[in-house]
Structure formats: structure tokens, C-alpha cells
């Protein structure tokens, strides 16, 4: 199996790829009951870059990003075929535990979803579930993660207050900090700014630019300007298919598919 993938990879690489892939998606199909939500998805996601997924509502972009950490399996009627290779391992092999995968592939959700706990406990949650009990280590992880999410200065004096007292934008950055605390390899972001005001959105976007130095980021967004501003590569999804996937600058300036052009020029969606 691995050999065939590599052959396909080689062919693809000859055409356009000049990056180290962190995810290789191969003929991924997904059904919700009878509804064929993802059709023969096939592309590679680069390491330490920002990959944006754009497309109209219902095109499968959120479903797709949730397959990358297998959160999509929480929907009971989901069926899948094909494979997603993360760092040389197919994540759908039975041995591959979802818990292990999600430790490497963190996720930031559409709506800020802090736990009803203190700011400190929110960030310390990840390390704690992975068995870290040492208070000094936890303190360090919390500070480092909050700094990493550019929210440390705003919360350092109120670490033990409830996270629900923060504003929406702060909550979302706290969720990013919480995600950083498990020291993931990849960060998935499912429309992370759709519930935020423009200033908070700007802060999160700047943060994404900072984070890509250390993490591979996949971001779903319905905002094309956002994709153009922050991503290195962009995939355009339509009706469960990848219509076009290439450098963000190429996709927005010189799309090769008519449907991509129609979408980014605002003719539909």
C-alpha cells in the first residue's frame, strides 16, 4: 500500500510540489447516511505553512477538516473510505488511536468553547489529561502557551478567574493557547474568527502568522479575503470536491478553473 502512495506522490511532486507534506489525503470519500459529503479528495498539506480551505456553505470544508483529527466520527452515521496519511501513518488503521492522533493534531473550533473553569485550568487541561501533575511544569506550560497565543499580558493577573469572564476574542485566543499547551504538530482551525469582531479577528490572523513558524496550520474560512491574507496555499471546495488546490497567490490571481474564478470574483456563494 505504501509503495503505491509513494508512486502517486512522485507523480504529483513532479508536477507542482516543493514542500514536505504533513498530511497526504488519498481518495477520501465520506458519507453522512446517503449524503455523499466528500468525493475523492486527494491533496497534500504542507508542513509549517498555512493551508486555507475555502468554499460556499455546505461544500464539505468543515467536514473535511474534522476528518483530519477524526472528530467527524462523533457523528454516528458517518462512513468513510480512502486514507489520510499523517507523518507516514494512515490514521484510519485500527491500531491508530484517536487520542494519540488528537494529541498531535489540535483543533480550534468555530465558536470559542472554553471549559467552565479558570483560565489557568483551561490551559492546564491538556497537559493534565496527558498525565503531567508537577505544578512547576504546569505553570510553565500555561505561561508559555498563553504567551504563544498572545493573550498572556491580558490575563496574567487573573489566571484563576473563570474563563467565561473573557470577551469572545479573548476566549478564542485562550482556546488557541489551550491547544498549544499539548504541543501539537498541526493546528486545525474551523472558521476560528466567524464569531469574532474585526479587531479580534485581526489579532487571531496575526497570531496565525506567528504560529506557522512552529506549527502546520489548516484553516477553514468562509472569508476569502482572510484566506488571501493569511494562507500560503488554498484549496477551493465545491459540493464535496476539491476544485482547485494551489498557492494562495496563484489561486486568487490566476485561477485555472472557471468555477474557482466565479467563486472568488463573487459570482456565487
Partner 1 sequence: MALINKESVKKRMGTRLAANGVAKFLFILATCFSLLVLGVLIYRILSEGLPYLSLDFITNFASRMPERAGIWAALLGTIWVMAVTAPVSFILGVGTAIYLEEYAKKNAFTKFVQINISNLAGVPSIVFGLLGLTIFVRLLGLGSSVLAGGLTMSLLILPVIVVASQEAIRTVPREIREASFGMGATKWQTIRRIVFPAALPGILTGTILALSRAVGETAPLLVLGALAYVAFVPENIFSQFTVLPIQLYNWTSRPQEEFHMIAASGIIILLIILLIMNSIAVLIRNKFHKRF
Residues that bind partner 1 (CB under 8 A): 69, 71, 74, 76, 98-103, 106-107, 109, 111, 113-116, 125-126, 128-130, 164, 175, 178-179, 182
- Beta strand 50-54 with 233-238 is parallel
Residue closer to partner 1 by CB (options 51, 122) is: 122
d(CA 96, CA 80): 16
We find the least distance from the C-beta atom of residue 59 to partner 1, in angstroms, to be 21
User: Quick one: which of 169, 120, 109 has its CA closest to 143?
Assistant: 120
Is the CB of 183 or the CB of 244 nearer to partner 1?
183
CB nearer partner 1, residue 76 or residue 266: 76
* Residues 6+ positions from 51 with CB-CB distance below 8 Å: 45, 216, 217, 218, 219, 231, 232, 233, 234, 235
Least Å from the CB of residue 145 to partner 1: 12
Closest to partner 1 by CB, 49 or 69? 69
Q: Round to whole Å and give the CA distance between 59 and 125.
A: 33
Residue 6 or residue 164: which is nearer to partner 1 going by CB? 164
Calpha distance 240→40 (Å, rounded): 9
> Smaller CB distance to partner 1: residue 3 or 77?
77
CB 29 within 8 A of CB 92: no
> Closest approach of Cβ 172 to partner 1, in Å?
12
C-beta of 111: minimal distance to partner 1 in Å?
6
Long-range contacts of 12-18 (CB under 8 A, 24+ apart): 12/44, 16/246, 17/44
Give least dist CB 62 to partner 1, A.
12
Euclidean distance between the first and final Cα of the chain, in Å? 38
Give the shortest CB-86-to-partner 1 separation in angstroms: 14
Amino acid at each position: 500500500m505504501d509503495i503505491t502512495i509513494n508512486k502517486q506522490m512522485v507523480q504529483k511532486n513532479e508536477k507542482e510540489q516543493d514542500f514536505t507534506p504533513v498530511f497526504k489525503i488519498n481518495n477520501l470519500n465520506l458519507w453522512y447516511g446517503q449524503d455523499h459529503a466528500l468525493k475523492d479528495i486527494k491533496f497534500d498539506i504542507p508542513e509549517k505553512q498555512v493551508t486555507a480551505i475555502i468554499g460556499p456553505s455546505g461544500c464539505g470544508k468543515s467536514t473535511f477538516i474534522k476528518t483530519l483529527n477524526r472528530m467527524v466520527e462523533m457523528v454516528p452515521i458517518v462512513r468513510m473510505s480512502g486514507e489520510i496519511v499523517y507523518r507516514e501513518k494512515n490514521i484510519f488503521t485500527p491500531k491508530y488511536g484517536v487520542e494519540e492522533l488528537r494529541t498531535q493534531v489540535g483543533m480550534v473550533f468555530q465558536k470559542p468553547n472554553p471549559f467552565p473553569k479558570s483560565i489557568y485550568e483551561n490551559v492546564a487541561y491538556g497537559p493534565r489529561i496527558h498525565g503531567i501533575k508537577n505544578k512547576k511544569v504546569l505553570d510553565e506550560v500555561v505561561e508559555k502557551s498563553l504567551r504563544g497565543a498572545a493573550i498572556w499580558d491580558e490575563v496574567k493577573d487573573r489566571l484563576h478567574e473563570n474563563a467565561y469572564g473573557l470577551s469572545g476574542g479573548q476566549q478564542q485566543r485562550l482556546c488557541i493557547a489551550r491547544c498549544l499547551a499539548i504541543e501539537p504538530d498541526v493546528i486545525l482551525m474551523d472558521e476560528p474568527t466567524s464569531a469574532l469582531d474585526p479587531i479580534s479577528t485581526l489579532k487571531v490572523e496575526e497570531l496565525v502568522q506567528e504560529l506557522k513558524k512552529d506549527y502546520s496550520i489548516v484553516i477553514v474560512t468562509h472569508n476569502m479575503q482572510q484566506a488571501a491574507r493569511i494562507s500560503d496555499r488554498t484549496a477551493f471546495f465545491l459540493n464535496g470536491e476539491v476544485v482547485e488546490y494551489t498557492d494562495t497567490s496563484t489561486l486568487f490571481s490566476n485561477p485555472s478553473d472557471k468555477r474557482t474564478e466565479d467563486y472568488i470574483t463573487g459570482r456565487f456563494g
